[in-house]
A and B are shown apart, each in its own frame.
Chain A
Amino acid sequence: MTPHEQESIFRRWLSEHQGLLRRVVKSFAASAADQEDLLQEILLQAWISLPSFRGDSKETTWLYRLAFNTAMVWQRKEQRRRVKHEAFSSLIGEEPTSPDGTADALIERLYEAIRALPKPEASLALMLLDGLSYREMGEVLGISENHVAVRLHRIRKQLAEQLKGLES
């Protein structure tokens, strides 16, 4: 992969899969500063790992893997990683909000519920909501479709439990 190709793919991914990266970041980090920090880390890993992308798996599957792995490592080193990224924070833009300007309470609660889950479950919950197939989820986590199905059954119950009373 030439540097030019690397740059062009990176730019395309940045525009096409920005939503995916944002959702992963919000599912693993609560505060805006942490989200920026984690996003920067994921983008750095994506840039470093991009030359090894051979197209064997879908772009999104590859990105989920990379984002989840990076997020897990980041969470462990969270405290040490709280270095200043003010310069970067201005580049990322504003937090997504609903049309009336307020954050969507249900979605925010959902993010909270996902963050409270153990890491592999959080990854599965996010992919479930993003609409990935069981096969794709299995590929990201390295487990069988059957295994994915069983775990999602539990996750759905857990999420439903946490969101009770907020449906209105």
Chain B
Amino acid sequence: MNFESLQQRWQQQETRSEVKVDACLILQEVRRNHRSFQAMIFWRDFREVGAALFVAVFIIFHGRDWTDWLLAVAGSSVGIFLLRDHLRQRKQRPRASEDLRLYVQHSLDEVRHQSWLLRNVLWWYLLPLMVPMLISNAVQADTVRQGVRQSVVIVVMAWLIYKLNQHAVRKQLVPREQELERLLAGISEDSSINPAVGILEQP
């Protein structure tokens, strides 16, 4: 069988069978999925930013001295940083109707940004929160021994969070980044083009 007859057979596959589709039901289902998708995005954003801002507001109203206020400022800063980053990334998010190469490139940019965020979690999340916590602890602790003990707990917690983030980068984001890089290279492997074959083979 030559290619033309194969192509013809391929293109006839739908005409051989009439498939009934209930557009109303599908539309209803798609709308329902869209609503749940939007709700999921909203609650995810709310969780990420809301937690930091809630802690900040809570401390503002219940703080005991200036060290608590410092912690509130740090919490708000982290929340605002996350919110800004989220909004900026949303604008640059890949759109499903883009061409394949552009879509993969934008997905790759997105993954690289996520990777950058987690790699630098110490600077924008852990240190801004840990330093005020340690100061607050040093000022408010009843005894030196208690202060040291609580400080050690704070540092160990921060270290664990840092390690968890680096683990996520290694196990999830780096493989994803490599996969997208391979895909992008696969789409735009210009080096393999031999102009001599080129467009003459167009059917």
**B26 interface residue, CB < 8 Å from A?**
yes
Give chain A's interface secondary structure class: helix
A150 close to B197 (CB less than 8 A)? yes
In the bound complex, what is the Cα–Cα distance between A66 and B95 (angstroms)?
8
Residue in B1, B37, B194, B197 whose beta carbon sits within 8 Å of that of A44 in the complex: B37
- Taking CB as reference atom, which chain B residue is nearest A93? B19
| Neighbouring B residues of A70 by C-beta, 8 Å | 96
In the complex, which residues 95-127 of chain A have their Cβ closer than 8 Å to any Cβ of chain B?
A: 96-99, 104, 106-107, 110, 118-121, 123
In this complex, which of B97, B102, B103 has the most chain A Cβ atoms within 10 angstroms of its Cβ? B97
Residue in A11, A47, A142, A167 whose beta carbon sits within 8 Å of that of B34 in the complex: A47
**A147 interface residue, CB < 8 Å from B?**
yes
- Segment from B7-15, B68-76, B78-86, B155-163 that makes contact with A: B7-15
In the bound complex, what is the Cα–Cα distance between A28 and B201 (angstroms)?
27
- Taking CB as reference atom, which chain B residue is nearest A12? B23
| Neighbouring B residues of A87 by C-beta, 8 Å | 29
In the bound complex, what is the Cα–Cα distance between A137 and B9 (angstroms)?
21
| Neighbouring A residues of B31 by C-beta, 8 Å | 47
Give chain B's interface secondary structure class: helix
**B174 interface residue, CB < 8 Å from A?**
no
Least distance between A168 CB and chain B CB atoms (Å) = 9
| Neighbouring A residues of B198 by C-beta, 8 Å | 146, 149-150
B99 close to A142 (CB less than 8 A)? yes
In the bound complex, what is the Cα–Cα distance between A134 and B199 (angstroms)?
8
A40 close to B202 (CB less than 8 A)? no
**B17 interface residue, CB < 8 Å from A?**
yes
Least distance between A39 CB and chain B CB atoms (Å) = 9
**A1 interface residue, CB < 8 Å from B?**
no
Least distance between A129 CB and chain B CB atoms (Å) = 4
In the complex, which residues 12-50 of chain B have their Cβ closer than 8 Å to any Cβ of chain A?
A: 13-14, 16-17, 19-23, 25-27, 29-31, 33-34, 37
> How many of A's residues come within 8 Å of B, CB to CB?
69
A97 close to B21 (CB less than 8 A)? no
Contact status of A150 and B192, CB under 8 A, knowing A14-B21, A19-B14: yes
A149 close to B197 (CB less than 8 A)? yes
Interface 0/1 of A144-161, CB less than 8 Å to B: 011101111100100010
Residue in A14, A49, A91, A106 whose beta carbon sits within 8 Å of that of B97 in the complex: A49
In the complex, which residues 7-58 of chain A have their Cβ closer than 8 Å to any Cβ of chain B?
A: 7, 10-11, 14-15, 18-19, 22-23, 40, 43-45, 47-49, 52-53
Contact status of A123 and B13, CB under 8 A, knowing A91-B22, A153-B201: no
Least distance between B188 CB and chain A CB atoms (Å) = 6
Contact status of A98 and B97, CB under 8 A, knowing A118-B186, A141-B187: no
In the bound complex, what is the Cα–Cα distance between A11 and B195 (angstroms)?
43
**B190 interface residue, CB < 8 Å from A?**
yes
Interface 0/1 of A60-104, CB less than 8 Å to B: 001001101110110010000000000110011110111100001
| Neighbouring A residues of B97 by C-beta, 8 Å | 49, 52-53, 62, 65-66, 69
In the assembled complex, 20 residue pairs joining A and B whose CB atoms fall closer than 8 Å, in A order, are A19-B14, A44-B33, A44-B34, A65-B97, A65-B103, A69-B103, A72-B100, A96-B19, A97-B16, A97-B17, A120-B100, A129-B6, A130-B10, A131-B7, A134-B199, A141-B187, A142-B188, A145-B199, A149-B198, A167-B1
6 smallest A-B Cβ distances: which pairs? A142-B101, A142-B99, A19-B14, A96-B17, A93-B19, A129-B10
